[in-house]
Chains A and B, each alone.
Chain A
């Protein structure tokens, strides 16, 4: 069964994509405004709330997440208080065996459709927002049977693995579509034009 999607679709100005937004503790990119407005649900993981608070100064009330979760070792007290007063759900997840991000996703899990990560994938890379490079990174384990189309350097039933072959600095063949077939989880990475 082939799984098809367009990675950069959420960044398109028009579109009916149903998505949820998670904000982590890093400087926020400009695209957050557009992404925020069209998301079904928005959440912050711990210090992500600081970033939201600081970035949206002057218009914070228009950018209230549904919930903020974490072990709260990063969120500033005044930020936490602000969002609590505004009615955001503040959910403490103190478990130190998992990151704030992981625990935030668990809380979102009911509302996000599970995606099948293995098997055949078809990605549309013709939004116009794709940058120059892309790659396939076999992070956790080797992928023994990887086949691609649409890349400049395609794989044909190749092994990808650290110590064997890792696809970096790859690019597109111009067709606008990339297909990837893999037998184990494989990390896709691509450039976004700025």
Chain B
């Protein structure tokens, strides 16, 4: 059975992809604005909250307007009748009878306030922030706590904040009975080398945590772990960069066959010490297929 998807679909300006967003502790790329506005759920792992807080500082207006714009386009597309107050304030999901919009405020949450636009801060709240909190700044944690954001401590030192965040995210997805196509993770691919490897390791563990595919994006790179079997990837969104690769992290893959690449594999062995496919590229067909007998890390460039 072939698994087909389009890795860069979440980055498309149009699209109805249902995804959740996880923010890790790395500088945030510009795409966060677009990704934020269309995500079903958003979570921060520990220091990811610092990044969000600092990025939003100068960006509130733009995010707000983008959010409103997206919601209006969504309503136009669906032909939905708007349920709005007479003053035409945006529906922030406070009315439990409007499905498909953001979940409402927690009962007992303190009232939000902003000198300018009402409910502004609400748009930039993640669903939750989790971690062992050795990275989040105290004032950032306090800010989100006051705003009514769920702060969940996960002190377990045998797993990374990212892994634990995914566990919590999966629970939320189940609780809310959401249909989710992909989990988009921002960060995790730069900085400390051991943390980069930990991000890759989390992808391996993720199969036991959630059935939802996970992609990790930072700067110009995307990674995605291909499970054993056949895969078909559409690489014609127009956002694909020059390079791509297949990295046999964890173990050699003894039977790898590809199409759609400039340098294809035909029942080849991929392994550290044998052959690792890096600096590969596309043959122009717009589709890449990969067949592998063991987990194989796909990586590709994102045009900036």
A162 within 8 A of B: yes
From A51-59, A60-68, A136-144, the one touching the partner chain is: A136-144
Count A interface residues, CB 8 Å: 20
Residue interface bits A161-185, CB-to-B below 8 A is 1, else 0: 1110010111000000000000001
Complex Cα distance, B203 from A162, in Å, reads 9
Residue interface bits B264-288, CB-to-A below 8 A is 1, else 0: 0000000111000011000000000
Name the residue among B195, B197, B251 with the largest chain A CB count within 10 angstroms.
B197
Chain A residues in 8 Å Cβ range of B201: 162-163, 166, 168
**Inter-chain contact B273/A140, CB cutoff 8 Å:** yes
A161-B198 contact given A99-B279, A189-B193, CB 8 Å threshold: no
**Inter-chain contact B272/A140, CB cutoff 8 Å:** yes
Chain B residues in 8 Å Cβ range of A170: 194
Partner of A185, one of B198, B200, B252, B273: B273
Chain A residues in 8 Å Cβ range of B205: 163
Complex Cα distance, B274 from A185, in Å, reads 13
**Inter-chain contact A141/B250, CB cutoff 8 Å:** yes
A191 within 8 A of B: yes
**Inter-chain contact B192/A191, CB cutoff 8 Å:** yes
Complex Cα distance, B271 from A144, in Å, reads 17
* Residues 68-106 of A contacting B (Cβ, < 8 Å): 99
- Minimum distance in angstroms from A100 CB to a CB of chain B: 10
| Nearest-CB residue, chain B, relative to A134 | B194
* Residues 124-144 of A contacting B (Cβ, < 8 Å): 133-135, 137-142
B-side residues, CB < 8 A to A, are: 160, 192-195, 197-198, 200-201, 204-205, 248-252, 271-273, 278-279, 295
**Inter-chain contact A161/B250, CB cutoff 8 Å:** yes
| Nearest-CB residue, chain B, relative to A98 | B275
- 27 residue pairs A–B, Cβ–Cβ below 8 Å: A99-B278, A133-B192, A134-B194, A135-B197, A137-B197, A139-B197, A140-B250, A140-B252, A140-B271, A141-B250, A161-B250, A161-B251, A162-B200, A162-B201, A162-B204, A162-B249, A162-B295, A163-B204, A166-B198, A168-B197, A168-B198, A169-B195, A169-B198, A185-B272, A185-B273, A189-B193, A191-B192
Residue interface bits A107-134, CB-to-B below 8 A is 1, else 0: 0000000000000000000000000011
| Nearest-CB residue, chain B, relative to A161 | B250
Given A139-B272, A140-B252, A162-B200, output 14 extra A-B contacts at Cβ < 8 Å. A133-B192, A134-B194, A140-B250, A140-B271, A141-B252, A141-B272, A161-B250, A162-B201, A162-B204, A162-B249, A162-B251, A166-B198, A168-B197, A170-B194
Chain A residues in 8 Å Cβ range of B249: 139-140, 162
Name the residue among A140, A141, A161, A185 with the largest chain B CB count within 10 angstroms.
A140
- Minimum distance in angstroms from A152 CB to a CB of chain B: 10
| Nearest-CB residue, chain B, relative to A140 | B272
Complex Cα distance, B201 from A161, in Å, reads 9
| Nearest-CB residue, chain A, relative to B251 | A141
Chain B residues in 8 Å Cβ range of A134: 194
Complex Cα distance, B249 from A161, in Å, reads 9
**Inter-chain contact B250/A163, CB cutoff 8 Å:** yes
| Nearest-CB residue, chain A, relative to B193 | A189
Name the residue among B204, B251, B252, B279 with the largest chain A CB count within 10 angstroms.
B251
| Nearest-CB residue, chain A, relative to B271 | A140
Complex Cα distance, B204 from A166, in Å, reads 11
Partner of A166, one of B192, B197, B251, B279: B197
Chain B residues in 8 Å Cβ range of A133: 192, 194
- Minimum distance in angstroms from B258 CB to a CB of chain A: 16
A168-B195 contact given A141-B271, A162-B200, CB 8 Å threshold: yes
**Inter-chain contact B251/A140, CB cutoff 8 Å:** yes
Complex Cα distance, B251 from A185, in Å, reads 12
Complex Cα distance, B199 from A135, in Å, reads 13
Partner of A169, one of B160, B200, B271, B273: B160
Chain B residues in 8 Å Cβ range of A142: 250-251
